[in-house]
A and B are shown apart, each in its own frame.
Chain A
């Protein structure tokens, strides 16, 4: 069964360093998402991406964050200068379709990357 994959599973970095989290969405999916979950807290939407551009982003997704689809398979989240509060689990998700009126297409989540900022 196709699945979303993420690398690395755990990333440890020093405060102020740049990190790139990588995701390989399901191959026929067109919509891509990043979420984060701070330990013990809610899953929070960061950004959605479609047709090589951001379709929606949350207030969390500030100038320190960027996303890119550098080739036909990878989808990346870059944090330019990490802060202690960026420590969290980051989930990538993909869906075949986007929101359309009352319909919805299931978002498939990857296993996550645990980011630890020291």
Chain B
């Protein structure tokens, strides 16, 4: 089965703490993409990053960083010095090639991050 597992249902931290959100995936595709999205209380999903399966370089964007490891099928997301505005549900997603040749995104169940002042 091609799926994404986000084992952490909810994480609570205090502002300025670092936090890592885990994402483990399963796929039979040799080429695939991985994504992270943020869903704040307003409900709209905000795209954060896309990673190609051939590119295992870690990426940093401000306080956000992503660690992609094909050997463990993981694509973890770390927020450094968390802030209250980081409170949201975060989704990891995997592109899956369908029988039609079309690619769809399969989402994990999300991790709710609560950052308290």
Asked if chains A and B come from one complex, the reply is no
